[in-house]
Structure 1
Amino acid sequence: MAAFFNKITGGSSGRGDDHPEKSKEQSLTTILSTHEDRTELLLLVTNCMGLMRRQILDIFDPDKNQESWTRPLSASSAIGHDAGQHGPNKPDRPHVEQTEEQRKKAYDRRVTELSSAKMTEMSNAALAHFDSWSDKVVQRLGEVVNQHQDDTSQAAAERPQEQGQSQKVTKELEDAESDHALRQLYPPQATPLLNLPQEQRVLILHSLLLLLLSLETYTAESRVLLLRITSSLSLPMRLLAEDESHVAEGLLESAKQQMNADEETKKHAEDNAHSRKWKVGLGAAAGAVLIGVTGGLAAPLLAAGVGSIMGGIGLGATATAGYLGALAGSAPLVGALFGAYGGRMTGRAIDEYAREVDDFAFVPLHKHHFQKPKEIMHSKSTKENARHLRVAIGISGYLTDESEVVKPWQVIGTSIEGFALRWEVKALLKLGNALTAYIRSYAWGWAKKEVISRTIFAAFFSALSMPYGITKIAKVVDNPWSVATARSEKAGRVLAQALIDKVQGERPVTLLGYSLGARLIYSCLDELANRKAFGLIESVVIAGAAAPADAVLWRRLRAVVSGRLINVYSSNDYLLGFLYRTSSLQYGVAGLQAIEDVPGIENVDASDLIDGHTQYRLMIGRILGKVGLEDIDASEEEEQMKELQIVQKKDEEEREKSEQEEKLQET
């Protein structure tokens, strides 16, 4: 750690942050006026980075076998309320004691598995990526905090006059539940910076955001680092999201103001963007949202312009522009950050996948996408018409109506750029209709009773031990399930390729999915792991996942997720067990049980709320809210719960009707 810290304090690079005018405005120099303050900031950042690196090491450490954890999902179990009882290393379920021989065998197995060439290569690649990113952060931060003493002294003398520029935390940004969740997930690191006034701590966080953006990419690691800093500075979680929104708005507004390319050049760029659309509909999904960037031919942004626009956040214009570096003066870089140049797939991806994936596209959850560049240039920025520094992609796993591609994910709020992934709609509709018909049938009611009556749930999965009556009706859902499962795996690989190709820009992505949508995410993470593609995924939530619970597989997948990886399951999901019965069950099913022995995985037991696989699509809001995920719209969550009650009532009525018809036929 000492060597790591010395790397930061190695001196100033003269990158433009020593501008004499900067001492007259609010900046890190005025906030951290003493050498001790600057040292404490550097220590805080390096400590947080050390924890992040330790997390990677733990994934591949055979001694770390009990750090995945489980908690129930019930009315009172939001992470903000019960994380102290059900936090890491404190499983909700009683721990089954192993004998010394069993523990030794399990340890020897982990040693063998984690020492394989594949796992060693994965570990080395993950650490190399992290170290490369942290070195860049260290160098950039060191450039800023190591100022000439004369500038520091002058800035300190003028600091009292500048306090009025600082941003204060308003009450609407404070949320007891989400803030408690933040501190449970990322425990605060001890720092004397807590003694600084809140306004100064806000500006420290804001400055770090700009400095990370100056690396010309906003990686998942950068976002997780800021969450840890937010926790340690005792600031609200929503403050960071609000700050990200203001910065995104400032970058885009400044870009629009500075664009002066002629109409012919703009039209040429639009034509090029249109021609890049690939044949399965993904293409320039983000390219259609061009902020007016004209392929590098536009006039560069003026640093003072972007600085002035965002100066109201608290820092002065010169400091803002200086911290952003080249990003403050380049429209193409701003465009690339938000995905303006990522809207194309490689030829290899088209040839390999497009023949097998007939339907694949990002569908925006809000209004800001698919406007023409000219419309973006002249549109007013609102919460529903805004770009953001983060992306969320919701993935449905079966459909009873085409609108359900988007509908479950409307709970995603406007503080993040939300998309629904449209994939293989015809196959998912066939599956959804088959599932609905099946669960409403008398046959499933009888089959479910048979399952519940068995003392060993695993016996249910054996096709050979299934009663003839159940296997006879299985063909109703088996074929559409098999078809959709195979296509989810291919679509997952296409999604991974899209993220690698930066279709969504240089921004961290959160993936959310249920049923086969969760299986698609599993396939996507597996492909990212195979490709050693780190820094793309911030967080993942899978619910009712039709995927194996193999610990070795999930250790690899965990390595490509920088933030949270949450597995929501229900042991009462008999339909998933029935559908999955012909698959390999050696390692279990993630949607039916906890993924054990994987450091950093959060297992959420939803058995008290989920007693049927088809409920997931109408429980997404409740699930995401209870696991403490950011950016959830509470009003949409309530609408989902109302619809769930209606659907459950209809299912019961149809089941009773089917039972009556069956009895009439028997008589």
Structure 2
Amino acid sequence: DFGTRRTYVLLNISAEPTLNGEGPSEPGSAVGRQLSEPGRFAFAALCSVSLGQLFQGAEHRCFREQYLQGLVQWLGLDESVLPVMGAFLAGLGSEGSDTFHSVLQGEQLLRPVATPIVQDLVSFSLKDGQYDARARFLVRHVACLFRVPPQYLEEYEETLGERLRGQETEETEEELSRQRRKERGRKLRRYLLIGLATIGGGTVIGVTGGLAAPLVAAGAGAVLGAGGAAALGSAAGIAIMASLFGAAGAGLAGYKMNKRVGAIEQFEFLPLSSGKHLHVTVAVTGWLCSGKYSSFQAPWSSLGPCGEQYCLVWESRFLRALGSAVDSLLDGLVSMVAQEALKYTVLSGIVTALTWPASLLAVASVIDNPWGVCLSRSAEVGKHLAQVLRSRQQGKRPVSLIGFSLGARVIYFCLQELANEKGCEGIVEDVVLLGAPVDGSSKQWEKLSQVVAGRIVNGYCRGDWLLGFLYRSSSAQLSVAGLHPISLNDRRMINVDLSSVVSADSSHLSVSSGLESSPASHMTSDNLTS
């Protein structure tokens, strides 16, 4: 597609200069300080307005002000502009966003596309050895304003992360082989994207193998300071890497409970993807059953690329018992009478205990006990997940969470625990909940949303009769997130009706199988904005 519009000259460059042929002399010099003074002012102003719009709560005030002050210094602007930027941050002058956008588009360095801004914001956000979830969502927001594809941010972050880590850890032959196969398929696309991002005007030069060296070196040099790769071995470079990726280096993959925590018997993370990235996605399975979905990883085989991915392994003994109970429940409803009652229930949308057909209530004892146990265990697991994230086992990187059924309930209690503690903002970037058996009242979610920097996607289905039946003991809660949209007036909340992918016959069970064919399977942390 790129080739239809421009001519590409493929070069092989192995040196490591920045765009002007010299190594990065000071932080921000790779891109930000190469803009004109009006361009740098517009850059800072656009970020100020965006910060004020995206993170309005008092809990984000310190982050907003520190980020803005640091950005002004990063761009080499005089401190006299801070009062003006503070006014933009407070919401004044937001109508000038189009003007700032136009000024930046007029910069020679940002033609034909403004991807250098994305590079510079990523580098700036990483300079202190942490990648705050709010900072990453700001980068995504700015990228969206300039129509930079989400895949570009993914590719650049991955390349920069690999550059920063260098040869910090040894990889097995199997990991190296898998990485080489993966790299062959994406190398040209990645290098074209990076080349398109950093060379402005005239003929765009895409470069093969050696292209990543000079272009990503600029970003790494901006993060680490002068010397770039050489600084990786310095005390400052080691401190930044230890902070960003976790001091132990193993991240979530190396975390496992050494002993029982409260009522929790099992809690560990299994990797779904290889390599180390600048952001992490944790997927939480809701139950285990026989056949195709007998493992924790199986439902996430079609999860779109979204950084470093893990699935949470928790309480498998109880989740399997629940899966068996659900199978027994459905097998007991094969008679014509039960089928007619089931059909009536689905069509009428009855979800209260008083109106369930007697034939259905007669077999309720089969499932009530394992369901109740799993409800209790999921709450405890969610609280423990919050403790793991709060202790930065994943390093100081943003985390996105996705889960279905009881897995979504785990995430709900994780957010609840984080919201009850001060200073937990900036850990969680995006949340995706599918068929969540949790309270859907706006009052409850108003508090929980404060610890989510990006989006909260609530996938619901009004005709999910099985979820309604399982959750009937909590009928005092008139609103269940998995059955209804959450009526929260907040830019974070997105309600998605999954009726088209959840079949009426198996209802709640088809949420996991629907992951492979539904839009939810491609709801990565980066395309949620669009």
Instruction: Identify the TM-score tier after normalising by the shorter chain.
Output: 0.7 to 0.9
**What letter matches 1:405 in structure 2?**
F
Question: 1:336 corresponds to which residue?
Answer: 243
Partner of residue 479 from structure 1, selected from 369, 373, 377: 369
The alignment status of 1:354 with 2:244, answered yes or no, reads no
User: Which amino acid is 1:544 matched to?
Assistant: G
Deviations 1:562-592 (A, max 9, x none): 1010111111111111111111433321111
Change (3 A) 1:352 1:406: closer
Task: Give the Cα separation in 2 of the matches to 1:445 and 1:190.
Answer: 64
Is 1:522 aligned with 2:412? yes
Equivalent in 584, 600, 617 of residue 512 of structure 2? 617
1:136 aligns with 2:66: yes
What is the rounded CA distance, in whole Å, between the counterparts of 1:392 and 1:527 in structure 2? 19
Q: Distance in 2 between matches of 1:26 and 1:200?
A: 19
Residue 408, structure 1, aligned to residue 275, structure 2: no
Name the SS for the 1:315 alignment partner: helix
Opposite residue 216 of structure 1, the aligned amino acid is G
Instruction: Report the counterpart of residue 162 of structure 1 in structure 2.
Output: none
* Pairing partner for 2:486 from 595, 600, 604: 595
Contact 1:481 1:579 survives alignment (8 Å): yes
Quote the Cα distance in structure 2 between the aligned partners of 1:460 and 1:22: 63
Amino acid at match of 1:31: Q
Q: Secondary structure at the match of 2:472?
A: coil
Correspondence 1:627-666 to 2 at 5 A = 628-630=523-525
Over 3 Å counting, the alpha-carbon distance change for 1:324 and 1:604 in structure 2 is farther
The reply on whether 1:583 has 2:474 as its aligned counterpart is yes
Which residue number in structure 2 is paired with residue 193 of structure 1?
Answer: 104
Residue 37 (structure 2) pairs with residue 28 (structure 1): no
CA distance in 1, matches of 2:521, 2:245: 30
Question: Structure 1 residues 461 and 188, CA, compared in 2 at 3 Å: closer, same or farther?
Answer: farther
SS of 1:559's partner is helix
Q: Where do 5+ consecutive residues of structure 1 fail to align? A: 1-19, 57-126, 149-185, 258-307, 367-384, 633-667
- Confirm or deny: 8 A CA contact 1:492 1:522 kept in the other structure: yes
Give identity over the alignment, percent: 30
1:559 to 447, 450, 456: 450
Instruction: Give the partner amino acid of 2:384.
Output: V
Normalised TM-score (structure 2): 0.73
Alignment of structure 1 residues 241-252 onto 2, 5 Å: 241-252=154-165
Aligned residue identity for 1:232: L
Q: Which range is displaced more, 466-475 or 600-609?
A: 466-475
Q: How many residues align?
A: 431
The answer (yes or no) to whether the contact 1:245–1:415 under 8 Å persists in 2 is no
Question: Which residue pairs with 2:55 in the alignment?
Answer: 53
Confirm or deny: 8 A CA contact 2:458 2:495 kept in the other structure.
yes
Q: Report the Cα offset of residue 404 of structure 1.
A: 2.4
Counterpart position of 1:124: none
Could you tell me how far 1:191 is from its partner in structure 2? Answer: 3.8
> Which one of 399, 405, 414 corresponds to residue 288 of structure 2?
399
Matches within 5 A, 1:482-497: 482-497=372-387
Question: How many Å apart are 1:133 and its aligned residue?
Answer: 1.7
- In 1, the alpha carbon distance for the partners of 2:251 and 2:279 equals 20
Letter in 2 for 1:236: P
**Maintained 8 Å contact 1:478/1:579:** yes
The superposition leaves residues 458-480 of structure 1 with CA deviations (integer Å, 9 ceiling, x where unpaired) of 75422x44443222211111111
Distance 1:465 1:334, change over 3 A: same
Q: 2:137 maps to what in 1?
A: 224
* Residues 251, 444 of structure 1: alpha-carbon distance in 2 compared, 3 angstrom cutoff: farther
* Aligned AA (1:512): I
Quote how far apart the aligned CAs of 1:143 are.
Answer: 1.8
Quickly say closer, same or farther: Cα 1:487–1:498, change in 2 above 3 A: same
Q: 1:295-325 CA deviation, whole Å, 9 max, x = no partner?
A: xxxxxxxxxxxxx986433738754533999
Between the aligned partners of 1:323 and 1:439, the Cα distance in structure 2 is 65
Q: Which residue of 2 aligns with 1:99?
A: none
Task: Decide whether the 8 Å contact of 1:548 with 1:585 is kept in 2.
Answer: no
Q: How far is 1:335 from its partner?
A: 2.4
Residue 238 of structure 1, CA deviation: 1.1
Q: Could you tell me how far apart the structure 1 residues matched to 2:470 and 2:157 are?
A: 42
Change in Cα spacing, 1:448 to 1:389, as seen in structure 2 (3 Å) is farther
Note closer, same or farther for the CA distance 1:343–1:592 as it changes in structure 2 (3 Å cut): same
Q: Secondary structure at the residue paired with 2:474?
A: coil
Large movers: runs of 4+ above 6 Å = 23-26, 186-189, 323-328, 342-345, 349-353
**Structure 2 counterpart of 1:573:** 464
Counterpart of 1:365 in structure 2 is 272
**Corresponding position of 1:505:** 395
Q: CA deviation at 1:31?
A: 3.1
Q: How does 1:192-341 map to 2 (within 5 A)?
A: 192-196=103-107, 197-198=110-111, 201-253=114-166, 255=168, 311-313=214-216, 315=218, 319=222, 321-322=224-225, 329-341=236-248
Task: Measure, in 2, the Cα distance between the counterparts of 1:506 and 1:422.
Answer: 22
Match of 2:15 in 1: none
- Over 3 Å counting, the alpha-carbon distance change for 1:573 and 1:317 in structure 2 is closer
Tell whether the 8 Å contact from 1:211 to 1:323 is kept in structure 2 after alignment: no
**CA positional deviation for 1:427:** 0.2
Quote the offset at 1:409 in angstroms: 1.5
Structure 2 stretches lacking a partner, 5+ long: 1-21, 79-96, 171-210
TM-superposed CA distance for 1:413, in Å, is 4.3
Superposed displacement of residue 26, structure 1: 6.6
SS at 1:473 equivalent: coil
Cα 1:39/1:324, change in 2 over 3 Å? farther
**1:604 is the counterpart of 2:496:** yes
Distance in 2 (CA, whole Å) between partners of 1:604 and 1:627 is: 13
Please list the CA deviations of residues 456-502 of structure 1 after superposition, one character each: whole Å capped at 9, or x if unmatched: 9575422x444432222111111111111110011000001111011
Letter in 1 for 2:152: L
Q: Aligned partners of 2:336, 2:98: CA distance in 1, in Å? A: 47
CA–CA separation in structure 2 for the residues paired with 1:410 and 1:207:
33
CA displacement at 1:393 relative to structure 2: 0.7
CA–CA distance in structure 2, aligned partners of residues 507 and 138 of structure 1: 20
Structure 1 position 433, deviation (Å): 1.4
CA distance in 1, matches of 2:100, 2:335: 53
**Structure 1 SS opposite 2:283:** strand
After superposition, the C-alpha distances for 1:166-198 in whole angstroms (9 at most, x for unaligned) are xxxxxxxxxxxxxxxxxxxx9998442123343
CA contact under 8 A between 2:281 and 2:306: conserved in structure 1? no
Q: How far did 1:595 drift?
A: 0.9
Rounded to whole Å, the distance in 1 between the matches of 2:335 and 2:351 is: 14
CA contact (8 A) 2:268 2:313 kept: yes
In 1, the alpha carbon distance for the partners of 2:435 and 2:309 equals 21
**1:71 equivalent in structure 2:** none
Q: Which among 312, 323, 337 is matched to residue 421 of structure 1? A: 312
Amino acid at match of 2:513: L
8 Å Cα contact 2:464/2:508 also seen in 1: yes
Question: What SS does the aligned partner of 2:218 have?
Answer: coil
Structure of higher CA gyration radius = 1
Contact 2:433 2:457 in 1 (8 A): yes
**1:624–1:322 distance in 2 versus 1, CA, 3 Å:** farther
Please state whether the residue corresponding to 2:275 is helix, strand or coil.
Answer: coil
Residue equivalent to 1:299: none
Residues 488/240 of structure 1: CA separation in 2 closer, same or farther (3 Å cut): same
